[in-house]
Homo-oligomer: A and B are copies of this chain.
Amino acid sequence: MDEIHEECGVFGIWSPPGTEVAEDIYAGLVALQHRGQESAGAAVTDTGGARGNIAALKGMGLVSEVFGPKEMESLKGNMGVGHVRYSTTGESSLTNAQPIVMNYIKGTLVFVHNGNIVNADEIRQNQMYRGQAHYTTTDSEVFAYEIISRRIEASSIEEAVLDAAKSMKGGYACIIMSPGKLVGIRDPYGIKPLVIGKKGSAYILASESAAVEAVGGMLIRDVRPGEIVTLTEGQIQSIESMCEGRRAHCAFEYIYFARPDSVLDGVEVHDARVKAGRALARSAPAEADLVAGVPDSGLVAAEGFAKESGIPFALAFYKNSYVGRSFIRPTDEERIRAVHSKLSVLKSAVCGKRIVLIDDSLVRGTTMRQIVEMLREAGALKVHVRISSPPFRYPCYYGTDVPSSRQLIAADHTAEDICREIGADSLFYLNQEDLLSMTGNLPLCTACFDSRYPA
C-alpha cells in the first residue's frame, strides 16, 4: 500500500581529516530514499579546516535529481549529514527541506531530523516569547532552536542537546553537526530508528542499517532509546541519562516502512515480516491454491504465509516501476486507470485459482477493492485477503503521514463491512499478540491500532 508514508531519513558520517564523505552521504541517502522522495539535502564540513565553514545544499526531488556532479564537487569535507524528506501537506517547499543550517553564538549548527515533536507548537511559542524568529513551519526548526538556546548555558553541545531533548515530546531521531563532531539522539521511547555503523575508521549514523551497508560499512549497534551519542576523532561517546524509560518502537517500521534488509533494534525486518505472514496463516487460514502479495509491500509476508500453510507462494502481479500521471481531471475511471498503470495481473498465474492475497495494511480500502476486482477479472475463483498488521484505527502523532482518521476505513467499519467493501471472499487482520511476537516481543508502539500512545 502506498497510503502511509514515513516522513524522513537521516544519515551522518564522521571520517578522519583528509578524507571526503560526500560520496558516502549520497549513497547513504539513495539507500534511504524509500523513506522520503520529496526533497533531499546535505551539509559537509572539514573538521581540520576553519571552524564552521560548511557547504550545504538542498533541493526538491530525488537524491539523483538534487545532487549532480557540480553539487557533489561543492560538498568538500570529512564530516557531514544528509536528509531525505517526504512532506505531508502543502508545506512541501524548499524552505522546509533539511538540513537546517543556523549560525549562532557558538558557531554553526546543522540539524537533520526524522520524526515529529508533539509539543512543538507550545515550545515554538515559548521561543518566540524569548525573541526568536522562525523561517519555517517545521518542528525540526523548533528542536534546533531549543538546542541553540540551551547551548548558551550548557558546557557542551551534547549537554545542550540533552537539555533540549528533555523538553521535547514525541518520536525523533536527529543528527546534529557541530564544529568537530556529530551528535545523534533518539527519543526515549525509541519510536524512530537510528543506528551506528563503522566503515574503516569512519563512523556513521543512519535511520536504517541498510544505509550503513550500502556505503560498504558494518552495523555496530542501534542508538539506544534516549541515548545521545557523539562521533568524533575516531570514537563514540554516549550519554544515557534519558535511557531508562518505557520503550515503544514504531510497529510500522517492521510492517512497512523499513527496508526488509535492515536490522532495527536487533530484529531483521524481513524476518519480522515472514513471521507476520506465518502468524496470519495460523490465525486466519484459508483454502487456496496460491499465496500472493501486493507488490512490493505484501510480498515478504506472503512468503511467510506460504511457508506456514504449505500453499505455494506465487507472483501474481507485474508492477511497473515507471511513473505515469493523468493530465485530465481525475474521475473514478481515471483513478482506476492509475492503479492499472502501476499494477497488472499475471493472468495465467491466477486464472481458475483460489488466492490468498496479502498486503501490509488497509487504509482507505479503495486500492484493495480495485486489486481484488482485477484478480476476479483475470479469473481468480476466490480472493482471501489477509493483512499483516492489525486494523489501522487511530492517527499517528509521531511523524508518520496518514490520512485523516475520517479516511481510515477501519476506524468505523468492522472487518466484515470492509470485506464486503473491498469485494473479498474473506478478510482477516494480524492479531495484536502476533504483531508483538513477530519482533520477538520487542516493545512496540501500537498506538495506531489501539490508541495507547506512549506519552
Contacts and interface: CB of A to CB of B under 8 A. Distances in A.
B340 A214 contact: yes
Interface string A133-153: 111010000001100110010
Q: Lowest 7 A-B CB distances belong to which pairs?
A: A30-B324, A105-B128, A33-B322, A102-B133, A271-B348, A270-B346, A261-B318
Contact of A300 (B300, B315, B324, B337): B315
Interface in A249-306: 259-261, 268, 270-271, 274, 299-300, 303, 306
Contacts of A144: 133
A72 interface: yes
A27 interface: yes
Interface residues of A, number: 76
Contacts of A119: none
Interface stretch (A62-70, A167-175, A357-365, A383-391): A62-70
A102 B135 contact: yes
A60 to B, nearest CB: 13
Given A64-B322, A322-B33, A322-B63, A341 B214 contact: yes
A155 interface: no
Interface string A203-247: 000000010011110000000000000000000000000000000
Contacts of A340: 213-214, 216
Contacts of A326: 23
Contact of A347 (B103, B131, B261): B261
A455 interface: no
A422 to B, nearest CB: 21
